């Protein structure tokens, strides 16, 4: 499976400047595309390239509130078929439309998919960001079948030695970051890029401060905000962080594209 994750940039979300983005997506030949900061016009433009799709702004909200103008989406084709009727929002978020979970079938195997955009603490506050992280942890910790979570984490820390980086962070109020992305995380999913580097034996040769790859740049600092996590039965053959191409296509984030191998067939059921 080829899976991509991309934040389209809310400042341009919904505009008509889709051609460069569409060309980039076509060139990557993706089976699944998880998007963040998606407007209605964006979804309409991208969904034409895929066979099944789910969009958070089109999910009827059970809490009675109206969704915003920017959400997240999951689109699939070829080897992966979504079950759009299973799509649901993450109601632990102050903006539920920022998280969308949906069940799927991948070559006869059940699969869970999540697209999520973390809040920015400077804009929304630490408490709301923590609540969102906790909601995502609870969601993926409950998966009993193969699953993939594609996310813009809004978390700048990405040290080569994750254990040392986690230990060095003495801010108890911000522990939730590491509960999702650290070595003592409160779920079973693995960071596909980090695992790929670990299996290749190259983590120890990389700069200690990271980041392990570039997907976003702010204030002159390189960061890997955008990550793909997956259950342990799924492995990445390669992970590409296409920052320059993502920027050239009109976003402020690079697109992450991973080639993921299928697990051994089992009796799992969705």
- Percentage of the chain modeled with pLDDT above 70: 94
Greater pLDDT, 257 or 270: 257
Tell me if 171 is assigned to some domain: yes
Q: Cα 189–61–227 angle (5° rounding)?
A: 25
Specify the CATH number for the domain of residue 134.
3.60.10.10
Element (H, E) at 234: none
Label residue 13 by pLDDT band (50, 70, 90): low
Contact 99, 56 (CB under 8 A): yes
User: What letters, b where the CB count within 10 A reaches 16 and e where it falls short, cover 91-125?
Assistant: ebbebbbbbbbbbbbbeebbbbbbbbbbbebeebe
Confidence at residue 267, expressed as pLDDT on a 0 to 100 scale:
42
Collect all residues with Cβ–Cβ distance below 8 Å to 6 and sequence separation of at least 6: 33, 34, 35, 36, 226, 246, 251, 253, 255, 256
- The mean per-residue pLDDT over the stretch 1-6 comes to 98
- The mean per-residue pLDDT over the stretch 152-158 comes to 95
Label residue 209 by pLDDT band (50, 70, 90): confident
Q: Cα 121–177–260 angle (5° rounding)?
A: 115
- The span from the CA of 89 to the CA of 68, in Å, is 13
- The mean per-residue pLDDT over the stretch 168-184 comes to 93
Relative to beta strand 2-7, strand 221-223 is: unpaired
Tell me if 14 is assigned to some domain: yes
Tell me if 50 is assigned to some domain: yes
**Segment among 9-13, 97-101, 149-153, 212-216 with least mean pLDDT:** 9-13
Greater pLDDT, 268 or 261: 261
Tell me if 19 is assigned to some domain: yes
Cα→Cα distances 167→83, 121, 175, 190, Å: 41, 21, 10, 19
The domain tally of the chain equals 1
Q: Is the pLDDT reported for residue 256 higher than 60?
A: yes
- Percentage of the chain modeled with pLDDT above 90: 76
Confidence at residue 269, expressed as pLDDT on a 0 to 100 scale:
45
Beta partners for residue 226, in sequence order: 152
Q: Does this model's pTM top 0.75? A: yes
Tell me if 181 is assigned to some domain: yes
Beta partners for residue 129, in sequence order: none
Confidence at residue 63, expressed as pLDDT on a 0 to 100 scale:
74
Tell me if 269 is assigned to some domain: no
Mean pLDDT of the chain: 91
Beta partners for residue 110, in sequence order: 105
Query: Could you report the per-residue pLDDT of 79-114, keeping only the tens digit for each?
Result: 999 999 999 999 877 889 999 999 999 999 999 999
What is the 3 state secondary structure string of 39-68?
CHHHHHHHHCCCCEEEEHHHCCCCCCCCCC
Q: Based on the number of CB atoms within 10 Å of its own CB, is 89 exposed (0-12), middle (13-18) or buried (19 or more)?
A: buried
Tell me if 124 is assigned to some domain: no
Q: Is the pLDDT reported for residue 199 higher than 80?
A: yes
Confidence at residue 270, expressed as pLDDT on a 0 to 100 scale:
45
- Domain span at 174: 2-119+130-261
Confidence at residue 12, expressed as pLDDT on a 0 to 100 scale:
66
Relative to beta strand 52-55, strand 255-261 is: unpaired
Q: Is the pLDDT reported for residue 255 higher than 90?
A: yes
Q: Based on the number of CB atoms within 10 Å of its own CB, is 55 exposed (0-12), middle (13-18) or buried (19 or more)?
A: buried
Tell me if 125 is assigned to some domain: no
Relative to beta strand 109-117, strand 147-152 is: parallel
Q: Is the pLDDT reported for residue 76 higher than 80?
A: yes
Collect all residues with Cβ–Cβ distance below 8 Å to 32 and sequence separation of at least 6: 1, 2, 3, 4, 74, 75, 76, 80, 104, 113, 148
Q: Which of 197, 90, 61 is nearest to 149 (CA)?
A: 90
Confidence at residue 264, expressed as pLDDT on a 0 to 100 scale:
66
Q: Is the pLDDT reported for residue 248 higher than 80?
A: yes
């Amino acid at each position: 499976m080829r899976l991509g994750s991309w934040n389209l940039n809310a400042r341009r979300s919904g505009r008509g400047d889709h051609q460069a983005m569409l060309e980039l997506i076509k060139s990557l030949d993706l089976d699944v595309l998880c998007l963040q900061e998606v407007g209605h016009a964006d979804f309409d433009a991208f969904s034409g390239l895929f066979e099944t799709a789910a969009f958070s702004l089109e999910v009827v909200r059970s809490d009675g509130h109206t969704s915003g103008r920017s959400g997240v989406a999951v689109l699939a084709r070829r080897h992966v078929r979504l079950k759009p009727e299973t799509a649901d929002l993450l109601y632990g978020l102050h903006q539920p439309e920022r998280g969308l979970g949906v069940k799927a079938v991948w070559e006869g195997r059940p699969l869970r998919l999540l697209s999520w955009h973390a809040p920015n603490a400077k804009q929304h506050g630490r408490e709301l960001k923590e609540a969102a992280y906790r909601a995502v942890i609870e969601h993926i910790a409950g998966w009993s079948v193969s699953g993939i979570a594609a996310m813009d984490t809004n978390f700048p820390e990405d040290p080569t030695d994750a254990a040392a980086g986690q230990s060095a962070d003495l801010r108890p109020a911000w522990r939730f970051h590491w509960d999702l992305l650290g070595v003592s995380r409160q779920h079973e999913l693995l960071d596909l890029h980090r695992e790929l580097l670990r299996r290749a034996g190259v983590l120890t040769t990389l700069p200690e401060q990271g980041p392990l790859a570039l997907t976003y740049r702010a204030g002159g600092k390189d960061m890997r905000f955008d990550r793909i996590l997956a259950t342990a039965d799924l492995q990445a053959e390669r992970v590409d962080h296409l920052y320059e191409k993502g920027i050239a296509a009109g976003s402020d984030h690079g697109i992450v594209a991973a080639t993921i191998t299928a697990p051994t067939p089992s009796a799992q059921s969705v």
